[in-house]
Amino acid sequence: MRELFDDLLATIVFFIIFALIGNIFIATGVGMAVGVAQLFWTRYKGKKIEPLQWMGVGLVIVFGGLTLFTHDSRFIMVKPSIIHFAIGFIMLRKGWMERYMPPVAIENLPGSLIVGWGYGWAGLMFVLGVSNIVVALTCSPVVWGWFLSVGAIGAKLVFFGVQYVIFRMTVVRRMRASQPVVSG
């Protein structure tokens, strides 16, 4: 979870600031600053910057800059769809999930299950992107804010929860099956 949190930190900060103060422009500026600072911090620590991190910071800078420049609420509201689509395309890369998984899971889960869930995450990003466009173009900014902060995040949390349960059950079942049977 730590790696996923790190990859999404700028977005998380944006949503928290937006939820607390309701100013999308301040939230965007703070999110941009966090994304850039996080990149520098990662480099300073001598760690590799992963593709999802580069994409996240790039999107924060480009779309955040456009948000601050245009001051157009429609652009601001549709922007998360562009981000969801971009993340979805990155998630189409086979095996991207392995970075976020503990060794015990990688050792005990079939590769096809990991890859399948990775593609499932990509599909979820595409669905959320389309859903956001519909909400952004047909609802008020308040409804959009609730959709994005509760609906989209909630969908990701539910998807993660289901994946976690399935992965855990599979790992436990495989580990039990590989233990030698002790007879009395």
Domain ranges in the chain are 1-71, 74-184
Say if residues 56 and 7 touch (Cβ distance below 8 Å).
yes
**pLDDT in the model for residue 54:** 78
Nearest to 78 by CA among 88, 69, 66, 89: 66
User: Over its length of 184 residues, how does the chain's per-residue pLDDT go in tens digits?
Assistant: 566 677 677 777 877 887 788 777 888 888 889 988 988 888 898 888 777 777 777 777 777 777 778 877 677 788 789 889 988 998 999 988 988 888 999 999 999 999 999 999 999 999 999 999 999 989 887 788 889 878 998 999 999 999 999 999 999 999 888 887 666 5
Number of H helices, E strands in the chain: 8, 0
Say if residues 114 and 95 touch (Cβ distance below 8 Å).
yes
Rounded Cα gap, residues 97 and 100, in angstroms: 6
**pLDDT in the model for residue 3:** 65
